[in-house]
Every structure is written in C-alpha cells, then in structure tokens.
C-alpha cells in the first residue's frame, strides 16, 4: 500500500470483477448495437480502457474533458468544458464513462448536452458512486460500486495529478491534502 493512503478501498482483483460485471450489463442492454464510448478525461481512462475490452459490439471512442474540482477535494459546482467530443452523435447510442460520481452536476450537464445533440440513447457508467454526496438527481445506468464519502485516489483518480497510476483505489490520508 502507498504510504499516503489510509486504506485500500477497492483491490485490483475487485476492480477487474467490477469491470467485467458492468461490461456484461452493457452487452445485455445493447444486444450488439453500435456504441460510442465517451471517456471523461483524465481519471476515467484506465477504467474505460479495461471496460471496452469486454464489450461485444462495434465500439467507437471519443474523449471529453471537464473539470469541477481544480486542486480541491470537492466539486465547485461550476463545470468547465475543457475539451468537447469531436464526433456528431446524432442517432448514436452513447455511453458516458466516468471514474466517480459525486455531486452529479457534471454528469447531469453532459447527459443533457448529449440529449440536446440528438443522441439515440445516452447512458451513464461509473466505476465509483458516492450517493451520499449527490445534489443533482441524475440516473446512473451502470455502477461498479458505492463508496463512502472519502477522498479516493488510484486507478486513474488523482489528487493534484498524483496517484493515478496506483492499480487499486485507496483512501487518501487527510494530512496529504489539508494544511
């Protein structure tokens, strides 16, 4: 375990199991229909790359970068669209892949944006969910696991661009981000 962590919350083995379960749910729901996977940068990348390996349909990928945290440990509520997708999504099944859903603000706004762009369907997939922090009622179609209200890092999740490379998800010690 990394010295800056209080505990490991989701092991590497458990992550693999969660990814496969989510992929099976998506495969069942879409039944072979083509899918555009929109990966929310940067934290969702490891999860999304593992997920698409298990999808049994034609898959396209695109990327979107939004920010609501900055260097903080909680969402500001303001969504900054840093990079939009490059594809026309009219008539496409879209799967938004996120690493963690906290307040719900970001995913609610992205889903609404994609619906306004006439996607055939818009589904949300997240590895981690903190329902206790939700301030916006957003439907999440695929959830890996719920976690407590702790600041977590690893498997793509970061604090100030650090810890993304950890192969598991752990709770960051408060002493690392409070001074």
CA–CA distance, 37 with 92 (Å, rounded to integer): 10
- Three-state secondary structure call for residue 75: coil
**CA-based end-to-end distance of the chain:** 23
The DSSP annotation for 101-151 comes to ESSSHHHHHHHHHHHHTT-SEEEEEEEEE-GGG--S----SEEEEE--S--
- Tell me 74's DSSP state: S
Helix extents (H) in the chain: 12-30, 45-52, 105-116, 174-177
Report which of 127, 124, 179, 125 is spatially closest to residue 153, judged by C-alpha positions.
127
Known catalytic membership, residue 102? yes
Which of 50, 56, 88, 102 is an active site residue? 102
125 backbone dihedrals φ, ψ, rounded to 5°: -130, 130
CA angle 49, 30, 60 (to 5 degrees): 40
Catalytic residue annotation: 102
């Amino acid at each position: 375990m990394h010295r800056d962590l209080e505990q490991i919350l989701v092991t590497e083995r458990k992550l693999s199991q969660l990814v496969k379960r989510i992929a099976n749910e998506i495969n069942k729901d879409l039944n072979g229909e083509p899918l555009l996977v929109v990966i929310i940068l940067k934290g969702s990348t490891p999860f999304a790359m593992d997920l698409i390996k298990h999808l049994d349909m034609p898959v396209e990928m695109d990327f979107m970068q939004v920010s609501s945290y900055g260097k903080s440990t909680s969402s500001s509520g303001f969504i900054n669209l840093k990079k939009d997708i490059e594809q026309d999504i009219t008539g496409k099944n879209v799967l938004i892949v996120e690493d963690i859903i906290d307040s719900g603000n970001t995913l609610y706004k992205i889903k609404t944006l994609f619906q306004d762009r006439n996607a055939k369907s818009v589904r949300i997939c997240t590895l981690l969910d903190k329902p206790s922090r939700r301030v916006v009622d957003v439907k999440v179609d695929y959830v890996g696991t719920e976690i407590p209200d702790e600041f977590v890092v690893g498997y793509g999740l970061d604090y100030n661009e650090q810890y993304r490379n950890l192969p598991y998800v752990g709770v960051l010690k408060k002493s690392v981000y409070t001074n």
